[in-house]
Amino acid sequence: MQSNYKRLGNYIRQVDVRNRDLAVDNLVGLTIEKAFIPSVANTIGTDLSNYKVISNGQFACSLMQVSRDGKMPIAMFKGEKGIMSPAYPMFEVYRKDELLPEFLMMWFSRKEFDREVTFWAVGGVRGSLTWEDFENLNIPVPPIEVQRKIVAEYQAVERRIENNRRLIATLEATAQTIYRKMFVDDIDPENLPQGWRMGKMKDLANFAYGRMPKEKDNGIIPVFSGYGVVGYCNEAMYDKQHIVVIARGDSGSGKIVKSPRKFYLTNLAIAIKLNNESYRDYLYYHLLSLDTSTLRTGSAQAQVTINSVEELVILIPPVDICANFYSVVDKIEVVKIGLAEEEEVLNDFSSLLLTKLSKL
């Protein structure tokens, strides 16, 4: 209820602790997806003593260009201390008996929050949000017991999602190990075993660009861009899993991914339509072992064409060996797909929990 809403600035305060003694060397950055990541910035010759120290339970954000991005990078730090560029505002909840930091982070994770800060940032310099406007945002502050219950439910779902991701990563590593044992170890490219040969992608498959569906907000068929599921429709373009090459976008062009089992492919990707399904799992892991970023063409924006994929040189083992690999790895793939589909349901439930916060 609206009576529970309070001014954010009544519960938070800025923090500014500098790394004067150089005691902290864990340099982190903040993504637009509201997560901390190890920084890849070149710090050679940089005075890290002026960097800000962030501690467990504190927040960092970026107020710059919020209206342009339609999102505000903001996250709660967990774990050992880190250091960040002094350009990032940092703050903490100082009335934790009334507002849980974890509950506040849930509020910041909502799409509606990003829409609200985007609205307030429109009039700012270069589309930025002022600290004063940020503090003046209204947030729900229900009784602390209610917050604890909501946070516990949300974190239970998030833990399940993280467990699924770890299991998928373990299964992926197992499949990679089997691939290396069968197709890499003891295989000399200069002296291939009998029946093995070098060839091109067009020797094993045909290729097709995706296209945009008429609608992607209705139905149960995943609309897949290569980068992920971006919506749902009623019409399936493919009724089985395919290897997909991301064809557009500076961040992903050339990347090799696997599609859902039944899906509609957008114009951001190319489907690899194998002549023989026995090659599917071998080809997927073989392509992952190659530098497929070399498939990119174009100077203004990176893109991959069917022609560049067709001409890619690959190692082609005998079909019976690939079929044997397929029979082993396909069991792993079935489990991975099940975990991924469960994760999708859990993500939807997690989003629903965030949406319900507005009704408090």
Residue-wise pLDDT for 103-137, tens only, equals 999 999 999 999 999 999 876 667 899 999 999 99
For residues 164 and 329, is the Cβ–Cβ distance under 8 A?
no
CATH node for 197-316: 3.90.220.20
Q: What is the 3-state secondary structure (H, E, C) of 273-340?
A: EECCHHHHHHHHHHHHHCCHHHHEECCCCCEECHHHHHCCEEEECCHHHHHHHHHHHHHHHHHHHHHH
Q: What is the pLDDT of residue 127?
A: 80
Residues of the chain with CATH 3.90.220.20: 2-141, 197-316
For residues 276 and 325, is the Cβ–Cβ distance under 8 A?
no
The CATH architecture that domain 2-141 belongs to is Alpha-Beta Complex (3.90)
From CA 212, how far away is CA 200, in angstroms rounded?
Answer: 29
Q: Are strands 296-297 and 303-304 parallel, antiparallel or unpaired?
A: antiparallel
Report residue 1's pLDDT band, with 50, 70 and 90 as the boundaries. very low
Each residue's pLDDT tens digit, 162-203: 999 999 999 999 999 999 999 999 999 899 999 999 999 999
Residues sharing a CB contact under 8 Å with residue 213, sequence separation 6 or more, in sequence order: 223, 231, 233, 235, 264, 266
Residues sharing a CB contact under 8 Å with residue 87, sequence separation 6 or more, in sequence order: 62
Average pLDDT (3-17) is: 94
Report residue 341's pLDDT band, with 50, 70 and 90 as the boundaries. confident
The answer to whether the predicted template modeling score (pTM) of the entire model surpasses 0.85 is no
From CA 358, how far away is CA 360, in angstroms rounded?
Answer: 6
